[in-house]
Structure 1
Amino acid sequence: MPYSNPPVQNMHPEDVKAAVRKKFGSLAALARQNGVSDSVVRAALIRPQPTGNRIIAKCLELSVHQLWPEWYGSDGQRIPSNDE
C-alpha cells in the first residue's frame, strides 16, 4: 500500500482567533492598529482576504502559508480556487 501525504489544511479559524487574542487582545484591536475595518480581519478567518490574512500572519509571526496552506503557496502567493 503506497504512502500518501496527508491533505494540507488551514489552521482552524477558532485557533487563529485564540492565538490573536493571546498575543494582541482582540481582532478589532488588531484591525484598528493596522488601519483596516474589523470586518477585514474577521473575513480573513473564513475565506481568502489577502490584506486581513497578512495582518494576522504578521501579528502571529507566521507566514500566510503556515496558517492557510489551502489558500497560499509556500512563496506567499495566493493559490487560485477552482471557481476563479
Structure 2
Amino acid sequence: LIKIDFVNSLVIIANTGPAIDPDDIPRLFELFYSKRANGHGVGLYLCRENLAVAHHKIWYSDPNVEDDYLIKDGANFVIKFNGVES
C-alpha cells in the first residue's frame, strides 16, 4: 500500500513494506544500484536527477534519524519542491 501526504511544504511518499536496510541508504540514488533480483537501479536515480534540474530535492526519510518525516512504517521518501513554502 502506498500513501502520499503533504507535511508543511513537503510531499511524503511511503509504503507499508519493509524499511530500507541502513547499509543501503547511502547508495539508494546511485545509478544501477539495486537489491532486487530483476532490478536495474535506474528509477530513484532518474527521479533525483529529473527533480534536480528544477532545483527540487528528494531524499529517503531515515526512521533512525530523529525529526525525519515518516507517515508509514515502511520506506518513506520526501520531495521538496523549489519555491513551495508552507
Report the TM-score, using the length of structure 1 for normalisation: 0.27
Higher helix share: 1
By relative contact order (CA 8 Å, sep 6+), the higher-ranking structure is: 2
Report the TM-score, using the length of structure 2 for normalisation: 0.26
Higher strand share: 2
Which structure is larger by alpha-carbon Rg, 1 or 2?
Answer: 1
